[in-house]
Structure 1
Amino acid sequence: MSNHTPIGLENGSAPVTALTHSGNFHVDETMGYVILHYALAPQGDLRARVLEEKSADRLTFIRTRNPDIIKSADIVFDVGGLYDPPHGRYDHHMKDKPLREDGTPYSAAGLLWKDYGHAAIRNILNTAADDATVDLIWQSLDKSLILPIDQDDNGVVKMGKLSLADIVSACSPPWDTAELYGRQEARARESLGFANAATAVASHLINVVDRIRASLKATNRVIAAYESAEDKRILVMETGMPTEKVIFEHDLPVVYVVSPAGPEQWNVKAVPPVRGDFGQRVSLPEAWGGLERDRLASVSGVSDAVFAHPARFICGATSREGAIRMAQLALQIAGV
């Protein structure tokens, strides 16, 4: 969170010119542009600005290395040789480059995220969110998405193939574009590539923000369900949602999660011993494994039992009560 009011956020209608370098582009300046788009002018046309088409909003976006144009821009990132946030300068290529608290060098994306990330998140969210929720989303994205971009751009750790960095890189025109089509066409294809990359990054950012929002909502519901549970080993969720992350982060002694899997089925899923593992803290009964409907109902004693996976990590019944009964029986049979 910045200690100053970033340029463009002090007045929601004043025009702002943002600038980054032309030529080869990477994920950090592409993400930087996307962050500014959502923070300052989310109703504008993300692609039209890049392609220098008409975009009737307050944000003007320029890609150039011309020193005079760089000096005149309001916000300059990933170029210019200055890190001076109060004056809208966000480069990180200097010898005395800005660092995170853990010593990781910032990229342009990380620097802009510090100042504009919260505003971007607020404009991306479709539902009202308080400051604490927005900050939790900011922190989660900073750790899971922005930090890896900082690391990749500074040569600390590569994001790898099929990462966001690789997707952005693939949008760049091949090295021989000018040789094949001429300089003017090469410049046009470079702008088109950046526009395509920005569109991909924007879609990813929107999706990740929404997933984190939903994850925070799930955390509250899981904790509430756990606190109201009669048997703390059985977590009953009235709506399907991710629970494993919450169970392990809060060290809950849950063995089975019961939740709806459709309009006419409730499932019992065994919690693994370690988050993301394929094992189970307590496997479902061996006698149930691979059975379905009548055979399973006969063996388990639950009349509406539907199935039990051969690997014994999940089973189900047509009713909520039937699924809860299966979980209770599985604990009794296991003797825990």
Structure 2
Amino acid sequence: MSEAKKPRTTPILCTHSGTFHADDALAAALLRALPQYAQGELRRSRDPKDWDEATVVFDVCGEYAPDKLRFDHHQRGFDEVFGHGFVTKLSSAGMIYKHFGQEILSTILNEPSSSPTVQTLFLKMYSDFVEAFDGIDNGIAQYVSSEPARYRSRTDISSRVAALNPRWNEPSNEQILLERFEVASKLCDTEFRERLDYLAKAWLPAREIVQRAVEKRKEEAHPSGKVVIFSEFAPWKEHLHILEQDLKIPEDELPLYVLYPESEAPDSKWRVQAVAVTPESFESRNALPEAWRGVRDDALSTLTGIPGCIFVHAAGFIGGNATKEGAMQMAIKALEL
């Protein structure tokens, strides 16, 4: 067989030429995370002939056809979303992640695609990382408000990718743009992997700690289910609210207070913290009693009748006691008042 007639074995990944953006830079990085595309040739072209030759086409071609490996979102009438409760319209980054994300995470984490780790992080990575690429590229405002922004931020990844394009008064051609695009794609790849590494090694272990404490709260804390005790501190706010939904906890059994040690020392002081209405909210479901707020030490112990009290914050969202038992008494008494 002549050289010209030999079938091509190197896959071609094609996106648009000209100015690049964060979504196509991330899409390229995600594809290259897969073994079958890791050594693929990257082309940047608006020529349909190049699209026809390509294995995967993304962010160009005017077609969304996953079975043909065509992933564009610019065509009229396109309104595809990630699903799973997310409503942000997809960009090329979200498209590639939606169709290849589980396989990508499986490859990077060396876990089966069907594993609970991959299934949980598949949604979490979209929420924490990829969805912003979709929203920004599609011009979807992060905040719904008629007021102008109070400040500017130019350090988000979309801004940093945009800044890698040649400036208006710099020389530019397709070779320069290709080289700059490769830098942008590597930037996106690094940040994607760093976020995934954090979620796999820190966020997910914290979730396991919170889940165990929530599931055992009636036996280990209070029969009402409204107090949760952590024997070790872990970031718990976001996990608690997610697990309440996942575990379908009835509203009258939702946790109101969380107890945890201030440190790992055997004689550590303990905190009692009111659970917020949402993970980002400053409003508590049931703040510590108003009469306790701003009172400290012996005065607080006298007021509550509980030994070892240290403080209750003036806003009532957190308090402290010298012992776990004392913190537990503070939580139980707050339930009763």
TM-score by length of 1: 0.71
Contact 1:261–1:267, Cα closer than 8 Å, also in 2: yes
User: Size of the alignment, in residue pairs?
Assistant: 302
Match of 1:203 among 194, 199, 204: 194
User: 2:118 — aligned with what?
Assistant: 134
* Distance change (3 Å), C-alpha of 1:284 and 1:105: closer
Q: Percent identity?
A: 25
TM-superposed CA distance for 1:109, in Å, is 1.5
TM-superposed CA distance for 1:27, in Å, is 2.2
User: 2:256 — aligned with what?
Assistant: 255
User: What CA distance in whole angstroms lies between the structure 1 residues aligned with 2:112 and 2:53?
Assistant: 36
List gaps (5 residues or longer) in structure 2. 1-8, 144-151
User: What CA distance in whole angstroms lies between the structure 1 residues aligned with 2:178 and 2:163?
Assistant: 16
Contact 2:259–2:271, Cα closer than 8 Å, also in 1: yes
TM-superposed CA distance for 1:105, in Å, is 4.8
User: What CA distance in whole angstroms lies between the structure 1 residues aligned with 2:242 and 2:299?
Assistant: 35
User: 1:213 — aligned with what?
Assistant: 204
Q: Which residue type is aligned with residue 330 of structure 2? A: M
TM-superposed CA distance for 1:16, in Å, is 4.4
1:116-155 aligned at under 5 Å gives the runs 116-125=100-109, 130-142=114-126, 145-155=129-139
Contact 1:173–1:190, Cα closer than 8 Å, also in 2: no
Deviations 1:99-131 (A, max 9, x none): 347996532122211221001222344777853
Q: Which residue type is aligned with residue 270 of structure 1? A: A
Residue 315 (str. 1) matches residue 319 (str. 2): yes
User: 1:29 — aligned with what?
Assistant: 24
1:56-135 aligned at under 5 Å gives the runs 58-65=38-45, 67=47, 70-95=51-76, 97=78, 99-100=80-81, 105-125=89-109, 130-135=114-119
TM-superposed CA distance for 1:324, in Å, is 0.9
* Distance change (3 Å), C-alpha of 1:118 and 1:66: same
Match of 1:230 among 214, 222, 242: 222
User: What CA distance in whole angstroms lies between the structure 2 residues aligned with 1:169 and 1:146?
Assistant: 17
TM-superposed CA distance for 1:224, in Å, is 1.0
Q: Which residue type is aligned with residue 194 of structure 2? A: S
Contact 2:226–2:254, Cα closer than 8 Å, also in 1: yes
User: What CA distance in whole angstroms lies between the structure 1 residues aligned with 2:205 and 2:177?
Assistant: 42
User: What CA distance in whole angstroms lies between the structure 1 residues aligned with 2:297 and 2:53?
Assistant: 73
Q: Which residue type is aligned with residue 62 of structure 1? A: L
TM-superposed CA distance for 1:29, in Å, is 1.1
Contact 1:247–1:254, Cα closer than 8 Å, also in 2: no
User: What CA distance in whole angstroms lies between the structure 1 residues aligned with 2:177 and 2:113?
Assistant: 44
TM-superposed CA distance for 1:80, in Å, is 3.7
Q: Report which structure shows greater RCO (CA 8 Å, sep ≥6).
A: 1
* Distance change (3 Å), C-alpha of 1:191 and 1:135: closer
* Distance change (3 Å), C-alpha of 1:200 and 1:272: closer
Deviates more, 1:84-93 or 1:264-273: 84-93
User: 1:50 — aligned with what?
Assistant: none
TM-superposed CA distance for 1:247, in Å, is 6.8
Deviates more, 1:189-198 or 1:233-242: 189-198
TM-superposed CA distance for 1:315, in Å, is 0.9
List gaps (5 residues or longer) in structure 1. 1-13, 42-56
Q: Which residue type is aligned with residue 21 of structure 1? A: H
TM-superposed CA distance for 1:268, in Å, is 0.2
User: What CA distance in whole angstroms lies between the structure 1 residues aligned with 2:276 and 2:260?
Assistant: 16
User: What CA distance in whole angstroms lies between the structure 1 residues aligned with 2:127 and 2:181?
Assistant: 30
TM-superposed CA distance for 1:89, in Å, is 2.7
CA RMSD of aligned residues (A): 3.8
* Distance change (3 Å), C-alpha of 1:271 and 1:172: same
